[in-house]
Amino acid sequence: MLKAVVIILMLAVIVSLFSGLFFLIRDGGKTNRVVNSLTVRVVLSVLLLLVILLSLWQGGLELNPTP
């Protein structure tokens, strides 16, 4: 379950990054859509980092899982 949340957050960061690129190319940077998209990307990245750090701290994820 936790790994799925991490993967979904990673995909959301990538989608937000490419939407910012799309808005930059389409609007030429004249609207706030690029800034909003990149703001969402930063928030998602911070959330992803917090989820990973909390799950490592609580033992939900392991750095070196044993086979």
Contacts of 51 (CB under 8 A, 6+ apart): 2, 5, 6, 9
Q: Are 56 and 35 in contact (CB under 8 A)?
A: no
Residue 58 tokens, joined: 């609580």
Going from N- to C-terminal start, the domains of the chain cover 2-55
pTM over 0.75: yes
pLDDT tens by residue, 10-49: 999 999 999 999 999 998 878 899 999 999 999 999 999 9
The separation between CA 35 and the C-alpha centre of its own chain, rounded to angstroms, equals 16
